[in-house]
Amino acid sequence: MAITLMNPAGLVEVDAYRQVAIAGGSKLVFVAGQVAWDADGVTVGTDDLAAQVEQCYLNVGTALAAAGATFEDVAKLNVHVVDWTPDKMPLLMEGITRAAAKLGVAPVPPATLLGVAALDVPEHLVEVEATAVLD
């Protein structure tokens, strides 16, 4: 495996992700920001943040698989949430947990969570992009 995840001493330990990813591979995979579209371009979970997060993570999983990768190869995630406020964290975590159960992994690489004013279309509440490293 090309990625080692860790929480170094001296940094807070967060359950949702690890603070550091050490990449030792030679092939980089960049996954475009995934929104809550199904394969037909229909938005899943309109007005339901947890459902949209779940779909985004499943879409990232599909994109990774097409490149021969899994979430275990992800070195970095960026998550963009429309009108983010801390009270949305339980819904975000619910969506991640549901996707993780379906994918059979714990997607905990280093992550950045950004609040944004809007995404590509008004019904999209979240977008997730990933960078993976393969041997």
How far apart are the C-alpha atoms of 79 and 134, rounded to whole Å? 22
How far apart are the C-alpha atoms of 27 and 16, rounded to whole Å? 26
Output the CA–CA distances (angstroms, integers) from residue 21 to 1, 44, 80, 94, 108, in the order listed.
12, 31, 20, 24, 10
In this prediction, residue 1 has a pLDDT band, given cuts at 50, 70 and 90, of low
For residue 35, the number of C-alpha atoms closer than 13 Å in the C-beta half-sphere is 16
User: Could you report the per-residue pLDDT of 68-127, keeping only the tens digit for each?
Assistant: 999 999 999 999 999 999 999 999 999 999 999 999 998 789 999 999 999 999 999 999
Report the percent of the chain where pLDDT is more than 70. 99
CA-nearest of 88, 19, 99, 26 to 59 is 99
User: Could you report the per-residue pLDDT of 18-62, keeping only the tens digit for each?
Assistant: 999 998 888 999 999 999 999 999 999 999 999 999 999 999 999
In this prediction, residue 16 has a pLDDT band, given cuts at 50, 70 and 90, of confident
Averaged pLDDT of the chain: 95
